[in-house]
Structure 1
């Protein structure tokens, strides 16, 4: 793996009036990797990307893309990046082929070069059958694929993907994941923002969890999971109304208040596996009926809950 640094940010911050959107973000992203910014809506993911992509000027701190300052050398930075935002940037009145040729010409390719590159991308993204079809007639997944294809017209070494699979069905999302993996296999660096825990887990070499504009944790998926314990106990209560009583029992035995849900499922990190049996026994002795329980390794959902207090985004 390359040791070249694609992105380095130090103390990056942005405020809008009294509201602080990004608060002192530090990032170091190695070239040739997928780095995920994981966080709930409004956490500061998009604002961070927009500053790194030179679309928004930082109020505080500094950032570099392949050694070029995003403020002082914005033109150089723009020549090395591609950005796919949350909403498609393609023109719905044009066909798929016309959109890609237009992007190519706007980015400096010759007429012939733009046509050739557009045809290559339509083939790679499995859109050749709709080359001459207006984008207004495309499905959501087809629009996202075309939008990403437009981002790659000049084959940039750094690609920003801001929640690229939001609103897509599982099959189309898997398809997009495959495209992202192929880009990185060819040497691209990807900064991915997402609120989908499984997306970060499946794609990212490293993950930073951002909440209220600040990075609250960073590491590999395995490191983040182990940060809240090697194992977790998940209790499914027969009666969710008994959850407060069960929480008191668990807190007395572990020193931690479990994460809960309205469905009557409680999750608690375990320092020792044997504690699980103590909790189950104590709950039953207190008359708390359990529908089921399991001891498992933590997933990113538990990490997300522990770090942000925010439940899993709906997939």
Structure 2
């Protein structure tokens, strides 16, 4: 059995420093913002898993459907010997690719969470003893380096997470991914598609209120880590469709005028009644837009697959 290897490229204190910087910048900006990556502490991850099973939230099911139906085609198109997954989490959906890639030698999951990497990696090593698993603790939105591994390589970025990046951030991210690839390597990208506004809003504002609790969890994270005194009950969850930018925005709306203190940063933040704090952008895509962004990064779109209801897409692009 190949042992699980773990490499840390993220400094031990990087998460704390990044949180401090994001909260300092976001709560003093106009309008106020917090990045969505801070949803995902242990409780936030549990809530998101619950969200993926809700009837309103289709992206996870739609992407899994495509992977189940098309994994063999992806394998045939790439002949990948190394699979790299960015933001791997539990690596659950990736099993379809691992099973289909008959010549696979190495799997490289990349995530900021050491515990998630270790848990998923150990399970894979137990199930696939012939597979080399080399986990990398890193932030995929920062500078990335990958361990040496056989080519060709397939980099997978699933779940529609690309949509959480603003356009300039997406361009920088795709360019960074391209810099990791050699000619013949490929990128498998998950993107949620533009569709009826009511369907989109329901996916981010479910009837059971799970997404509302998930959204407010970012306040609990800031309270715990930075000693802030956010009162989650003093904010309401809001999800709106921005027609011009073609993205969903999740926000937290202050129910009354209030001042929130963040002692670790020496901040006192005033909220007006009705003022909104943006916590997530989730862009939705069209094929021509995805192709253009890939081309700008030096990648060529070669395959485009959607689920049966055309809700979600997986695209395969090759390094030129």
Q: Scaled by the length of structure 1, what TM-score is found? A: 0.29
Of structures 1 and 2, the one with the larger relative CO (CA 8 A, separation 6+) is 2
Q: Scaled by the length of structure 2, what TM-score is found? A: 0.29
